[in-house]
Amino acid sequence: MSVDPWFAQDSYGVRFEWGPSGARALAARSACLVVVDVLSFTTAVGVAVAKGTRVYPFPVRDNRAAGFAADHDAVLAVRRRDITDDHPWSLSPAALRRAPAVPRLVLPSPNGSAIAAAVPGTPVLACSLRNATAVARWIREQGWGTPDHPVTVIAAGERWPDDTLRPAIEDLLGAGALLAALTDHLSPESTLAATTFTHTPDLTTTLTTCASGRELIEGGFADDVAIAAELDSSTAVPLLADGAFTAV
């Protein structure tokens, strides 16, 4: 996707945008792209790769996902409400934490997973509140996050019923946690996200009372929100390579 340099935040080493369109617009100009989908794709990815699972992102959950899983000899994650004792793997971080580890898992998601799958050729990291500092440290170790080797952080957001982007506060906070840890060469957009994180006094309350958190809690998945709020509880850094996220 062609984009003017001011919208690409050129001249800054650390950039921030929203959703699939933002990812496609800035990926080609980035040494690395970081996807943030706190409730729940990137949180689930972090939980799974920490257990040694290779996680394959897939943008939709339908017969194509089933075929993709079969081709990769992988388990296909089901919807949260569809887990069983025999098939406990889903997008739920709590379910993945309880489930036995599998070698390969296909994790469909219309937001974070779709973004990760949409930018072939660009290194992609999965970040959440749980591993924001670890991801920032690894990025700095690669020498990325400078104007010559820029990093783009993408808040996944959610979808309205008409499939347009709904910016989601949990992803703004997750991106802000990473951006606050990177500190240098931040674009104004990145600085604003970092400031939002650093000036949020109670992450857990914010996550449990925001729209996405309330949706999960009222649906019976309060544990997923609680796990997502575990700030810097993980050192796992999931990197997408050969089509799958693994811990670097």
Strands of 87-189, DSSP E: 104-108, 124-127, 151-155, 158-159, 165-166
Q: Which ranges in 31-168 belong to alpha helices (H)?
A: 41-50, 63-71, 93-98, 112-117, 132-141
From 236, 240, 208, 228, select the one nearest 92 (Cα to Cα).
228
Enter the pTM of the model. 0.96
3 pLDDT above the threshold of 90 = no
Count of structural domains within the chain:
1
Predicted confidence (pLDDT) at residue 6 exceeds the cutoff of 80: no
pLDDT tops 90 at residue 7: no
* Residue 85 in this model has a pLDDT that exceeds 90: yes
Q: Report the CATH number at residue 206.
A: 3.90.1560.10
Q: Is residue 151 part of a domain?
A: yes
Closest CA to 142 of 123, 126, 155, 127: 123
Query: Does residue 173 lie within any of the structural domains?
Result: yes
> Per-residue pLDDT tens for 89-145?
999 999 999 999 999 999 999 899 999 988 888 999 999 999 999 999 999 999 999
Q: Which amino acid is at 136?
A: A
Q: Rounded to whole angstroms, how far apart are CA atoms 15 and 129?
A: 18
Q: Are strands 158-159 and 104-108 parallel, antiparallel or unpaired?
A: unpaired
Tens of pLDDT, residue by residue over 225-247, are: 999 999 999 999 999 999 999 99
What span, in angstroms and rounded, lies between the C-alpha atoms of 164 and 166? 7
Instruction: State the residue range of the domain holding 185.
Output: 5-53+114-239
